[in-house]
Amino acid sequence: MHFKEIFVSIALGASALALTSTGASAETFDAPTPTRQANERGLQTAIFAGGCFWGVEAVFSHTRGVTSAVSGYHGDTADNASYDRVSGGYTRHAEAVRVVYDPSVVRYDQLLEILFSVVADPTLRNRQGPDRGAHYRAALIPVTAEQRAVAQSYIRQMGRSGVWDDPIVVRVEDHRRFYEAEEYHQDFAQRNPNHGYIRRWDAPKIRALRANFPQLYRARFRTG
């Protein structure tokens, strides 16, 4: 059973609460400010994979300029787009989040900086935090040529930055169809703030967003 599924099964039980009271906060990084800024107009859509989609969705739902953040699956077919299949490691899907944003408030390159500062470690292959498996990989899925150029530029910049001791392994993946996850996964952190996994792994990411990006932090969780 995966670490996340253990937390799901015990929910607010004593074991989960004990772990949240003793565990350290999630690691954060001083990711570099992108030198290549995105040139976009009007509402844009992007897809990000950065480990468990609960935390990715929660951080972007607290980001100013984001109008929608939806958890789902990306990388395989509709037949395999279910939590049981993906979490069991039977598919090529990654847990991912589709983000709609207003680039006049937050640009794509700024979303990348947030992702690799407070959400995902770009040096980890097929794992993030306590979760293991290719479905927890960190990946950038640009849906426009501009996003792809910015993503590739930022990956190169991260590699040169010296922020991380290990090599950058995050990759740009080709855009395929995005499949929305089951309803109970949507807005999970907002609906379940006392869930053991959220308290231990995802709440610290939101606090880091507020501390490190105060100009882009939004106290209100944007649902949907």
Residue 52 falls in the annotated catalytic set: yes
**How many CB atoms within 10 Å of residue 2?**
17
CA distance linking residue 91 with residue 9, whole number of Å: 23
Q: How far apart are CA 223 and CA 210, in angstroms?
A: 18
| Strand duo 171-172 + 44-50: pairing | unpaired
Q: Is 30 exposed, middle or buried (0-12, 13-18, 19+ CB in 10 A)?
A: exposed
Number of Cβ atoms within 10 Å of the Cβ of 139: 20
List 52, 94, 138, 208, catalytic entry: 52
Q: How far apart are CA 142 and CA 140, in angstroms?
A: 6
Count of beta carbons in the 10 Å neighbourhood of residue 33: 11
* Residues designated catalytic: 52
